[in-house]
Chain A
Amino acid sequence: MIKLTDVTKKYGTKRALEDVNLTLSKGKLIGLVGENGSGKSTTLKLIAGLNHPTCGDITVNGEKVTRKIASSVSYLSELDEYYRFFTVKDAIEFQASQFVDFDIEKAYEIMKFMKLEPQQKLKHLSKGNRSRVKIVLTLGRNAPVVLMDEPFSGLDPMVRNSIVKGLISFVDLDKQLVLITTHEIREVENILDEIVAIRDGYIIAHHNVDDIRKENKQSIVDWMTEIYA
């Protein structure tokens, strides 16, 4: 479903990704982990068509990634990027006008689940609730690929928990693939199928998480501590 072949990305002379080969298959919830500056966000942006590889190929569903891939990729940015004067309802309607796969009914369902009100203005929302709005807008789309860049960063445990629950409840793993970057591995380790570890632009591991627990008799956090040592 997502395939990166010999992908290298440089920003000027700085290397962000080096010779990355990665195949991610449909129906999986995959965590992309690594330290700050290791290339996680770059990887997501390249798959989303928001940035171009210096060399190598990226395909989503067999289609070469260009800016147009946005029609099959739902991307959650780590930034707050919506108009602050929008209400929650405005944001949902705006998103619906931009993407044909946006399911308004589902979006309102997620909105209720996240305990948001349609008439609330984004600029009056707390950081946690703005993050919840981003989840509504991202998961409201029935896109085959969902990319989430640091959806938990800077949020309190209650909000993180509601996002995790939202993911389990509203992602359709029969049809979707979810790739999520995070530092908060403890938050997501129970809901991941696979984990991809990246360091200094290199993919250093890609495994099924339960296989790690079974074969190494180790928690994911311990395993990570070991491979990053």
Chain B
Amino acid sequence: MADLFHSSKPIYEQIAELIKKQIIRGELHAGDKLPSVREMAIEVNVNPNTVQRTYRELESMEIVQSKRGQGTFVTGNTAVLAAIREEMKAEILQNFTRQMYEMGYSKEEITRGLANFLDEGSIRDD
């Protein structure tokens, strides 16, 4: 159960990441209802207050909306959801390129390497 989260990052942020990934993968759609705070807390084995904080953060980013007495819903605003998708992509690319540059690869090596890698379809499942 401790494996689900990194121990040195706030858990409320990590749960927010999980939800954003579910949105990007299309497991959660615009307008979908999120699990209640307690359901989510039990599912991921954390304190309900932490989930509350996640929902609050996501609400301030306008990714979700809480409706009084009904629960918390993924926003119906598809522009916001498209933006999350782009943001996540930019973040992953940034980490990737930073690591490549740190190891001394050139821009050409990186683009050629990535293109070859994608052509070979050599994604390993691990």
Q: Do A and B interact with each other, yes or no? A: yes
In the complex, B10 has a CB within 8 A of chain A: yes
How near does chain A come to B113, taking the closest CB pair, in angstroms? Answer: 31
Write out the residue numbers on chain B whose beta carbons fall within 8 Å of the beta carbon of A169. Answer: 42
Write out the residue numbers on chain A whose beta carbons fall within 8 Å of the beta carbon of B53. Answer: 210
How near does chain B come to A157, taking the closest CB pair, in angstroms? Answer: 10
- CB–CB A168/B48 < 8 A: yes
With A213-B10, A218-B8 as known contacts, state yes or no: A28 contacts B45, CB within 8 Å.
Answer: no
From B11, B45, B48, contact of A210 by CB (8 A): B11
- CB–CB A214/B10 < 8 A: yes
Write out the residue numbers on chain A whose beta carbons fall within 8 Å of the beta carbon of B7. Answer: 189, 213, 219-221
With A168-B47, A214-B13 as known contacts, state yes or no: A190 contacts B8, CB within 8 Å.
Answer: no
- CB–CB A190/B49 < 8 A: no
User: Which residues of chain A from 199 to 229 have any CB-CB distance to chain B below 8 Å in the complex?
Assistant: 210-211, 213-214, 217-222
Write out the residue numbers on chain A whose beta carbons fall within 8 Å of the beta carbon of B10. Answer: 210-211, 213-214
How near does chain A come to B34, taking the closest CB pair, in angstroms? Answer: 17
Chain B contact residue count (CB 8 A cutoff): 19
In the complex, B5 has a CB within 8 A of chain A: yes
How near does chain A come to B77, taking the closest CB pair, in angstroms? Answer: 27
- CB–CB A168/B41 < 8 A: yes
Q: Cα distance A190–B7 when bound, in Å? A: 8
- CB–CB B8/A168 < 8 A: no
Write out the residue numbers on chain B whose beta carbons fall within 8 Å of the beta carbon of A193. Answer: 47, 49-50
Write out the residue numbers on chain B whose beta carbons fall within 8 Å of the beta carbon of A219. Answer: 7-8
In the complex, A27 has a CB within 8 A of chain B: yes
Task: Name the residue in A169, A190, A219 with the highest tally of chain B Cβ atoms < 10 Å from its Cβ.
Answer: A190
Q: Cα distance A164–B13 when bound, in Å? A: 21
Please name the residue on chain B nearest to A178 by beta carbon: B47
Please name the residue on chain A nearest to B9 by beta carbon: A213
Query: 0/1 per residue, B30-62, Cβ < 8 Å to A?
Result: 000000000001100111111001000000000
Chain A interface residues toward B at CB < 8 A: 27-29, 161, 164-165, 168-169, 173, 186, 189-193, 210-211, 213-214, 217-222
